Amino acid sequence: MSLPENKDQITEIKPAGAWLSLDLKDFWTYRELLYFLTWRDVKVRYKQTAIGVVWAVLQPVLTTAIFTLIFATVARFESETVPYPLFALSGFLVWLFVFNSVTFASNSLVGNTNLVTKIYFPRLIVPVSATLSGLFDLLFSFAVLALMMVYYASKGAVAPTPQIFFAPLFVLMAILLTVSLGTLFAALNVRFRDVKFALPFALQVWMFMSPIFYPPGILSEKARFVLSFNPLTGILQGFRAALFGERFDWPVIGIAAVVIAFLSALALFVFKRMEDDFADLI
């Protein structure tokens, strides 16, 4: 087929040259695709399940009950001012969002081979949509947490303060962290299929290295310092402080913000460097 003589009629589609370009204009142009991919992932997750979205409630509730039995009764971990079930659930629902979203996002490019190889759209939409689909479960978990807070507030165990309005800030930090890790591992999984085997183990190790079911106060000062470089530490401590009116540990929260910014830049850099080869390797 001969090309048209008028070169103005030729449209060349290629990724942006900048390594850290977010392609915000393309994201806005393809916003409907982002919405439909996100909603598709939500529907597929609970398709042909007997109890459907009830799993979004059962998983955090049952896990919190088990860990409450183990840590609060047997190991006798005590949170400082908050009833342990409330302490555990507030941490686990954030972790569950991170775990599920990173897991789904890491397989998103490989799982959408036909879409990635046949049509043009900003490839970053694929892992981002897989990450955002986890917000659906997070909303249900928040509803359970809210009911528990009302119950313990009626018993005088907790008393919400104006600090609760800071809670969305730490949810946003968790979303940025999850999008960054999901994007990074989605790109790496295209080239290195070992990622799908190594990632679940790495996430399990990360869970036990995060103050989800235990308060940082039980650790030594040196261990707490090392733990502060885990971005989930700042997110969880800030989230709980906002919910339960405790003191914010701003240095730890600041470290978490810096680490998240670094991971975001790293994920975008790796994704952009590998994006041209996705269609060939996938």
DSSP code string of 80-140: SSS-HHHHHHHHHHHHHHHHHHHHHHHTHHHHTHHHHHHS-S-TTHHHHHHHHTHHHHHHH
Asked if the structure places residue 219 within a domain, the reply is: yes
For residue 185, the model assigns a pLDDT of 95
Walking along the chain (282 residues) 10 residues at a time, the average pLDDT comes out as 52 54 72 88 75 75 81 63 88 93 92 82 89 88 91 86 94 96 94 88 93 87 93 96 93 97 94 80 71
Query: Model-level pTM?
Result: 0.86
Which residue carries 């000062």 as its tokens? 221
Please report the pLDDT score of residue 213 as a whole number. 87
Q: Please tell me what DSSP assigns to residue 156.
A: T
HEC profile of 231-255: HHHHHHHHHHHHHHCCCCCHHHHHH
DSSP 155: T
Give the pair of three-digit tokens for residue 106.
């890491």
Residue 131 · residue 34 · CB < 8 Å:
no
Q: Which two tokens stand for residue 240?
A: 């709980």
d(CA 268, CA 24): 13
Asked whether residue 16 is domain-assigned, the answer is no
Q: Can you give the pLDDT at residue 13?
A: 52
Residue 256 falls inside a structural domain: yes
Q: Residue 50 has what pLDDT?
A: 62
- What CA–CA distances, in Å, run from 13 to 35, 123, 151, 179, 231? 23, 13, 56, 25, 37
Residue 226, domain member (yes or no): yes
Residue 87 within any structural domain of the chain: yes
**Does residue 264 lie within any of the structural domains?**
yes
Q: Identify the CA nearest to 96 among candidates 152, 45, 138, 154.
A: 138
pLDDT at 75: 57
**CB within 8 A of 265, min separation 6: which ones?**
20
Range of the domain at 163: 74-275
Query: Tokens standing for 82?
Result: 């908050």
Q: What per-residue confidence (pLDDT) applies to 59?
A: 80
Instruction: Judge contact between 178 and 128, C-beta under 8 A.
Output: no
The total number of structural domains that make up the chain = 1
Amino acid, single-letter form, for residue 15 = P
Residue 57: inside a domain, yes or no?
no
pLDDT for the residue 115: 83
What number of other Cβ atoms are within 10 A of residue 236's Cβ?
A: 25
CA 5 to chain centre: 50
User: Residue 32 and residue 203: Cα distance in Å, rounded?
Assistant: 31
* Residue 217 contacts residue 80 (beta carbons within 8 Å): yes
Q: Does residue 106 form part of some domain?
A: yes
Rg (CA), the chain: 21
End-to-end CA distance of the chain: 29
Whether the Cβ atoms of residue 80 and residue 215 lie closer than 8 Å to each other: yes
